[in-house]
Structure 1
Amino acid sequence: MDYYLLAGDAILVEEFAYGEDHVTVGLAGAMWSAGDTGWRGTGAFGQFLRTDDDLLSVLTPIRRDRAARVLRDLDGGVLPSELELRARFGDWVRFSNAAPLRLGSGETPQGYAEKRVYRVLFAKEPRAAQLAELSAAWRGSTPGGLPSGKGRAGNHLFTWNLRRVGRGIAWGLDVTMLLGLESPDLAGAVLRKLTADVRERGLVPVTTERFA
């Protein structure tokens, strides 16, 4: 689950649902605000706030332990377990699915079973210090100075980079995967880890798409 502090006096908890190919298929959440007697489902609010600059400006990604401290300090009591929070989600927002876009040749190099290309879209504008911190964590940057990285898990090979997309109005994490033969599919775990890396530096995940 993802936790956020909204306007300093509200806690927003969200969770994405993913399909078999690890693309986003749904979003749900719950929110508590100072003075509330309980948690309420956010429904489409989570999707809306990602398009509203005013809301994004007062939305801060945080970890569960900080959410628990803030909730206690605001006299909201003990933070419910994640199982209890899911029971307060209400309706899920469903994302439309389409077949993966085919960009480029998509040829799989010899020795690998499959090549995949994913993009995780993010809202909000990161600070320069946050981008520098991400470059340090990933131990790489593009020629333009934006964070990038590469890694291997078993016989899977992964490369990724953060970039501006949509004519500069959003950010995208592009991940290329060369999946090894007869190995467990680690694509989902890698995408979640990289998404968390970016989210912890202040950006807000919007959706995960597959391009190839």
Structure 2
Amino acid sequence: MISAREGDRAPTGLLVEEFVLCEDYTAAGIDGAEWRAENRAWSSSAEASRAIRADRALRGRVTPVSRQEACKAFRLLGGGELPEEAGLRTLFQERRSLPTSSPLNMSGSSARRYRILFAGDLGADGLARAREALRLEPTGDPRVVGAASTDAGGHGFTWELRRIGAGIAWCVDVTARLGSGPVTALGALLHHHRQAVRDQGLIPVTIERFA
């Protein structure tokens, strides 16, 4: 949801985005569309998508919201009923490509290592909710907010929440030790973690793979 000023919850428009994922669940691009109350029309969001991730002041005017909240804002602005997901995808006009590269495996390990990168900063309440949503436990490492692990779908997963710089960015680093189960469990876990942190107000930037 887009507002006129930082901290203002009154909407002036909507920005709808969807990550385009590769087969290994890394991000290849972002599809999206932007709707502004001033002209009541959908347009390309590629430039806005880039800007909110690079410009802290502009990012302060964007609030990640649920579909229910987006529908309410859309009606309030005179847009009527917000299209369903399939309908919204037909409005995507320009894909913003993200840099991709083949992962390096310097250690010879079969584990996969991912980083979900976010722009923005977490306040005390948001950080507490992120810890709860990701089921994090203290690590004793000042660089790591917390870590957790689980077995799911025949695979083993470990993840950490890290802060990058002061008020610049955060990331969730995920290590996946894949077993014999469907690899879709990995995609589901990465999606859950991305949404869990997004729900605290951060803007997802990309999903990278290092190994």
Which TM-score applies when normalising by structure 2? 0.87
CA distance in 1, matches of 2:103, 2:165: 18
Letter in 2 for 1:175: V
Q: State the 1:15 CA deviation.
A: 0.7
**Structure-2 residue corresponding to 1:81:** 84
**Structure-2 residue corresponding to 1:18:** 21
Letter in 2 for 1:130: G
Letter in 2 for 1:87: T
Q: State the 1:131 CA deviation.
A: 0.7
Residues 57-98 of structure 1, C-alpha deviations (whole Å, 9 max, x = no match): 111110001000011112221101222211111111122321
1:20-169 matched pairs, under 5 angstroms: 20-102=23-105, 105-107=107-109, 114-142=110-138, 143=140, 144=142, 146-165=145-164, 169=168
Per mean C-alpha deviation after superposition, the further-off stretch among 14-23 and 140-149 is 140-149
Residues 173-194 of structure 1, C-alpha deviations (whole Å, 9 max, x = no match): 10011111x2110221111111
Mark the runs of 5 or more structure 2 residues left unpaired by the alignment. Answer: 5-10
**Structure-2 residue corresponding to 1:111:** none
- Aligned counterpart for 2:181 among listed residues 174, 180, 183: 183
1:194 is aligned to 2:193: yes
Per mean C-alpha deviation after superposition, the further-off stretch among 160-169 and 114-123 is 160-169
Aligned-CA RMSD value: 1.9
Percentage of identical aligned residues: 40
Per mean C-alpha deviation after superposition, the further-off stretch among 153-162 and 132-141 is 132-141
Mark the runs of 5 or more structure 1 residues left unpaired by the alignment. Answer: 108-113
Q: 1:43 to 1:137 in 2, by over 3 A?
A: closer
Q: How many residues align?
A: 201
Alignment check: 8 A CA contact 2:145 2:163 kept: no
